[in-house]
Every structure is written in structure tokens, then in C-alpha cells.
């Protein structure tokens, strides 16, 4: 039999529906959630982890309390919680008065990952996964014609968020440019060696581009993933098609130039190709742009006219813009009003600010959740309405 947590059994016997606060000391607020014969009490302090809140389970049949193994880094204690039982064995926990991007959490109590861990560890297990907006954290495939500015945009992203993104260093049989370093910009490879490695299944994708062989090795992608960073692949449209058909669950962005004339000017101004190579790249660009826009490979299309504007749009697409303007109301990340009420209507969570003249209603659309423990729960869409 497990040890009883800091909650009176009276509360449980009185019965409470999902999401009722059961304790109200400022530092030890708890919320209870019923799932079948079990009540999950979430909140207070985690007995083995002072940084995240605790989880206790009450089995109604045996009247036993359990302290499950809590996997993942969970939320820090808050001024209050709301909770909803979702499908796939997870509980949505919304914190009150949290700093930006700390307000939406998922406690997995019977997800495939939790079931697998229960089997492995032979114990009761639950797992935390933070909710993030959009599709953060999936690998990002960026394609577009040569000279459109893919490398420039990627460099800006990696400079601003050095600990967040890692670049998948491709292999190529082309010669290095004067500023390029082996192992950093590319793995400059011998054609025969690269062909042999492709045959041995070491590449996620490869393609002949502008007369040279280019490819993404599985090791390059794994090296980024193992370092805990989000992987960025700068590859051509043929490569993007292959990745789309692979098991790598990525987001696909195609970058378009404002005009062919501007593309040509950029290629010339870069000064890295001979006239013959520039002509070849421009010829290939027309077909690439056509395919990029119409093939359906790319879910997101960016026009790189003004660089700063395009970079801003890219960050917004990746949920990195910090402040997003939705329906004229600025909301920071998923920054919820301190005083609010929470309700659920099908796949929408409605968070309504209380106690002010001008109020904000934030709607979280959770119909497209993906990912989860171990890692982030992605796919939350946020909308805000001022009324
Ligand atoms: N929005 C922009 N306006 C003007 N110049 C730009 C813009 N974006 C990038 N450039 C410039 O265009 C040139 C080509 O950019 P970049 O090398 O990033 O292209 P790329 O798409 O990575 O090309 P490749 O596929 O050949 O590697 C660079 O000199 C860069 O500074
Ligand atoms: N299919 C792949 N395409 C790749 C890869 N790495 C780069 N590229 C694309 O090649 C062209 C030309 O690049 P450059 O450095 O010679 O200017 C550009 O469109 C890149 O996106 C790869 O691994 N696979």
C-alpha cells in the first residue's frame, strides 16, 4: 500500500469531478482528476524532485495510494491548475500565472510510452510532456533554388538560437568554396566512396544536383538529434521528396525568390560560381520552383524578398517569434492571464480572462496534437479574441 499524500480522504469520499482544486495553501495547490477507478492528484511538491510538482494516485477499489515513477521534467508549482482528461491516456494540465511557455502541460498516464516504461520498470509510471505551440521540434527541411537565401536564413536562425538548432552537414562531391570547411559546411567526399556508402544504406537521401552528388547521411541527422537540438536540413527538392517518403517526421519549407532576375543577381553577387555554373543553376531553378510550389511536398512556402521580413516569417512559422498577433490581440507564447476560467468544448480549450474591463479569450485548439513524452507535445494552435 502506498503512502497517503497531503490530501484528506474526505475530499475523495465526497466525490469530485475532474479539475477540482483540493488544497489551497499557496505553495501546495493540488488538483485531482478521475480516470476510471483511479484518481490522480497533481500538485504540491514532488517528493523526489523539488523542481516539479508531484503526482499521487488513489485506487478507489483498494483505497490504496501510490507514488508513481514520474518521468520527464514537469511543471513547477503554480498558483492554480485546471485539468482535463484527453484521449490516449493523457491529462491536460493548465497552470495559472505561469511565465511564458510554461503554462500548458500533459501528464501521460496511459500513453504507449508510459505503457512501455511500465513494462520495462515493472512499476507504476506517469510522464510529463510540455505543450508547445505549432510544430516546434520536428526536423526542418528547407529547400529552394540555388541563391534564394536558404543558407543565409539558416545561419541567422542558428546564430540567434545556437542551443536550439543543429545543422545536418551534408556530403557533396563538389569542390569546396574558399570559405567552406570540411565537416562544417559539408563533408567533401570522393564520388566513389560516397556511392559505396549510399549503396551500404548510410544515407537518408541523396540526389544529383547541378552536376554533383549531394546527400544527407543518417549519421549527420543523428549527430544533431543526439545533441538535443532541432535538426535543419538544407537540401534540394529531389532530396525533400525522398525525406518525405522516409520515416523522418519533418516539416517542409520551400523558399521562393521574388523574381528570376533577383535570383540571378543574388547568385552573381555571391561570386562563388562560374558563369557556366550560374547558367546551369538558373536553368534548374525554374523547374525546382515549379515543383516546390505545386508538388505538395512543402507545407510552408516563404518568399525571400526582404531578408529581415522573411526571417521574421520563418521564426513565426517555427513558433519562435515570441509575440504573435492573432486577431489583433498580442499574446506572448502561450502566456495566459493570471485570473482566468477554463472550459473545454470538444477539441478546444477556452481560457477566459476574468476581473478586467477589457477581457481576452484564448482558444487552444488541441485537435492536432502530436509528439509527447519523451519530449514535447506539439501541435497546439492558439487563437485570441479581445472582447
Ligand atoms: N533577401 C535577400 N535579399 C538580398 N540578398 C539576399 C537575400 N537573401 C540572401 N541574399 C544573398 O543572396 C546570396 C545567396 O544566398 P545563400 O547563399 O543563402 O543562398 P542559398 O539558397 O543557400 O544557395 P545554395 O543553394 O546555392 O547554397 C548571398 O550572397 C546572400 O547574402
Ligand atoms: N538532395 C540534397 N541536396 C542538397 C544537400 N546538401 C545541399 N543540397 C542542395 O544542393 C544545392 C546546391 O548547394 P551548394 O552548396 O552547392 O550551393 C542546394 O539547393 C542545396 O539545398 C543534400 O544533402 N541533399
Q: For residue 236, give the ligand 1 atom closest to its CA.
A: 25
Sequence-separated contacts (24+) of 342-348 with Cβ below 8 Å:
342/19, 342/82, 342/94, 344/84
How far does residue 151's CA lie from ligand 1's centre (Å)? 7
Q: List, as one string, the DSSP characters of 168-236.
A: --EEE-SPPPTT--BTTTEEE--HHHHHHHHHTT-EEEEEEETTEEEEEEHHHHHHHHHTTPEEEEE--
* 270 annotated active-site: yes
* 177 annotated active-site: yes
Helix, strand, coil tally for the chain in percent (to 5): 25, 35, 35
Q: Whose CA is nearest to atom 7 of ligand 2?
A: 235
Q: Whose CA is nearest to atom 19 of ligand 2?
A: 236
Q: What does the alpha-carbon distance between residue 245 and residue 329 come to, in Å, rounded to a whole number?
A: 39
Cβ atoms of 243 and 142 closer than 8 Å: no
Q: What pLDDT does residue 235 have?
A: 98
Backbone angles phi, psi at 324, to 5 degrees: -120, 135
Q: What does the alpha-carbon distance between residue 160 and residue 381 come to, in Å, rounded to a whole number?
A: 24
| pLDDT greater than 90 at residue 193 | yes
Q: Catalytic residue among 270, 359, 376, 378, which?
A: 270
pLDDT band at 72 (very low <50, low <70, confident <90, very high): confident
Average pLDDT over residues 13-30: 49
Cβ atoms of 255 and 143 closer than 8 Å: yes
Q: Catalytic residue among 133, 241, 281, 378, which?
A: 281
Q: How far is CA 173 from CA 93, 193, 194, 283, in A?
A: 51, 10, 8, 21
17 burial type by CB count under 10 A (0-12 exposed, 13-18 middle, 19+ buried): exposed
Q: Catalytic residue among 48, 115, 177, 283, which?
A: 177
CA 213, 215, 219, 220 torsion-angle sign = positive
Q: What does the alpha-carbon distance between residue 226 and residue 92 come to, in Å, rounded to a whole number?
A: 28
Which of 151, 152, 273 to probe ligand 1 with, by most ligand atoms within 8 A of CB? 152
Which of 144, 148, 235 to probe ligand 1 with, by most ligand atoms within 8 A of CB? 148
* 281 annotated active-site: yes
How far does residue 163's CA lie from ligand 2's centre (Å)? 24
Q: What does the alpha-carbon distance between residue 158 and residue 306 come to, in Å, rounded to a whole number?
A: 19
pLDDT band at 2 (very low <50, low <70, confident <90, very high): very low
| pLDDT greater than 90 at residue 380 | no
Residues whose CB is less than 8 angstroms from the CB of residue 194 and which lie 6 or more positions away in sequence, other chains included: 171, 173, 206, 213, 215
Lowest model confidence (mean pLDDT) among 38-42, 132-136, 221-225:
132-136
Q: Whose CA is nearest to atom 20 of ligand 2?
A: 235
Q: Whose CA is nearest to atom 22 of ligand 1?
A: 151
- The set of protein residues with a Cβ atom below 6 angstroms from ligand 1 is 144, 146-152, 266, 269-270, 304, 307, 310
Q: Whose CA is nearest to atom 3 of ligand 1?
A: 307
Collapsed DSSP state (helix, strand, coil) of residue 361: strand
| pLDDT greater than 60 at residue 48 | no
Q: What pLDDT does residue 322 have?
A: 60
How far does residue 209's CA lie from ligand 2's centre (Å)? 7
β-strand 170-172 against 186-188: which pairing, if any? Answer: parallel
Each residue's pLDDT tens digit, 329-340:
444 456 777 788
Q: What pLDDT does residue 10 have?
A: 27
Q: What does the alpha-carbon distance between residue 42 and residue 33 come to, in Å, rounded to a whole number?
A: 8
Lowest model confidence (mean pLDDT) among 5-14, 54-63, 87-96, 241-250:
5-14
Report the percent of the chain where pLDDT is more than 90.
53
The count of other CB atoms within 10 Å of the CB of residue 180 is: 14
Each residue's pLDDT tens digit, 266-294:
999 999 999 999 999 999 999 999 999 99
How far does residue 168's CA lie from ligand 2's centre (Å)? 11
Average pLDDT over residues 296-320: 93
Written in H, E and C, the secondary structure of 248-283 is CCCEEEEEECCCHHHHHHHHHHHCCCCHHHHHHHHH
How far does residue 22's CA lie from ligand 1's centre (Å)? 58
| Region class of 290: left (phi > 0), else alpha (psi between -120 and 50), else beta | alpha
Q: What does the alpha-carbon distance between residue 147 and residue 263 come to, in Å, rounded to a whole number?
A: 6
Q: What is the ipTM of this complex?
A: 0.99
Q: What does the alpha-carbon distance between residue 185 and residue 151 come to, in Å, rounded to a whole number?
A: 10
How far does residue 233's CA lie from ligand 2's centre (Å)? 9
Considering every ligand atom, which ligand is closest to the CA of 257? 1
Q: What average pLDDT does the structure give for the chain?
A: 84
- The set of protein residues with a Cβ atom below 6 angstroms from ligand 2 is 146, 150, 170, 174, 205, 207, 209-210, 214-216, 234-236, 238-239
Q: What pLDDT does residue 22 have?
A: 47
User: Which position has the grid cell 495547490?
Assistant: 29
How far does residue 40's CA lie from ligand 1's centre (Å)? 53
- Which is nearest to 270 in space by CA: 174, 181, 177? 177
Written in H, E and C, the secondary structure of 54-96 is EEEEEECCCCEEECCEEECCCCCCCCCEEEEEECCCEEEEEEC
Which of 239, 241, 278, 288 to probe ligand 2 with, by most ligand atoms within 8 A of CB? 239
Average pLDDT over residues 355-380: 79
Q: What pLDDT does residue 11 have?
A: 31
Q: What pLDDT does residue 202 have?
A: 80
Amino acid at each position: 500500500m502506498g503512502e497517503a499524500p497531503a490530501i484528506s480522504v474526505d475530499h475523495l469520499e465526497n466525490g469530485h469531478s475532474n479539475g477540482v482544486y483540493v488544497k489551497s495553501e499557496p505553495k501546495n495547490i493540488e488538483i485531482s482528476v478521475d480516470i476510471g477507478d483511479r484518481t490522480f492528484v497533481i500538485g504540491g511538491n514532488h517528493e523526489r524532485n523539488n523542481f516539479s510538482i508531484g503526482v499521487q494516485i488513489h485506487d478507489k477499489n483498494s483505497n490504496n495510494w501510490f507514488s508513481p515513477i514520474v518521468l520527464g521534467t514537469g511543471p513547477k508549482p503554480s498558483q492554480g491548475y485546471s485539468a482535463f482528461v484527453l484521449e490516449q491516456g493523457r491529462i491536460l494540465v493548465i497552470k495559472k500565472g505561469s511565465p511564458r511557455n510554461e503554462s500548458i502541460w500533459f501528464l501521460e498516464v496511459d500513453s504507449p510510452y508510459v505503457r512501455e516504461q511500465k513494462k520495462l520498470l515493472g512499476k507504476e509510471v506517469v510522464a510529463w510532456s510540455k505543450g508547445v505551440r505549432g510544430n516546434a521540434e520536428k526536423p526542418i527541411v528547407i529547400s529552394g533554388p540555388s541563391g534564394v537565401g536558404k543558407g543565409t536564413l539558416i545561419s541567422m536562425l542558428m546564430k540567434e538560437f545556437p542551443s536550439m538548432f543543429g545543422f545536418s552537414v551534408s556530403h557533396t562531391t563538389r569542390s569546396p568554396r574558399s570559405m567552406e570547411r570540411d565537416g562544417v559546411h559539408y563533408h567533401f567526399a570522393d564520388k566513389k566512396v560516397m556511392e559505396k556508402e549510399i549503396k551500404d544504406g548510410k544515407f537518408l537521401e541523396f540526389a544529383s544536383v547541378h552536376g554533383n552528388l549531394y546527400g544527407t547521411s543518417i549519421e549527420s541527422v543523428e549527430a544533431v538529434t543526439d545533441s538535443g537540438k532541432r535538426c535543419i536540413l538544407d537540401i534540394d527538392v529531389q532530396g525533400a521528396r525522398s525525406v518525405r517518403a522516409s520515416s523522418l517526421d519533418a516539416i517542409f519549407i520551400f523558399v521562393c525568390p521574388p523574381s528570376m532576375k533577383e535570383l540571378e543577381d543574388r547568385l552573381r553577387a555571391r561570386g562563388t560560381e562560374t558563369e557556366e555554373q550560374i547558367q546551369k543553376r538558373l536553368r534548374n531553378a525554374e523547374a525546382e520552383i515549379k515543383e516546390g510550389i505545386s508538388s505538395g511536398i512543402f507545407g510552408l512556402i516563404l518568399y525571400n524578398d526582404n531578408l529581415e521580413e522573411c526571417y521574421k516569417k520563418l521564426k513565426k512559422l517555427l513558433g519562435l517569434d515570441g509575440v504573435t498577433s492573432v486577431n489583433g490581440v498580442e499574446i506572448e507564447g502561450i502566456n495566459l492571464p493570471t485570473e482566468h476560467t477554463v472550459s473545454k468544448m470538444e477539441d478546444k480549450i477556452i481560457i477566459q480572462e476574468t476581473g478586467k474591463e477589457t477581457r481576452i479569450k484564448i482558444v487552444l485548439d488541441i485537435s492536432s496534437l502530436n509528439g509527447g513524452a519523451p519530449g514535447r507535445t506539439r501541435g497546439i494552435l492558439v487563437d485570441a479574441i479581445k472582447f
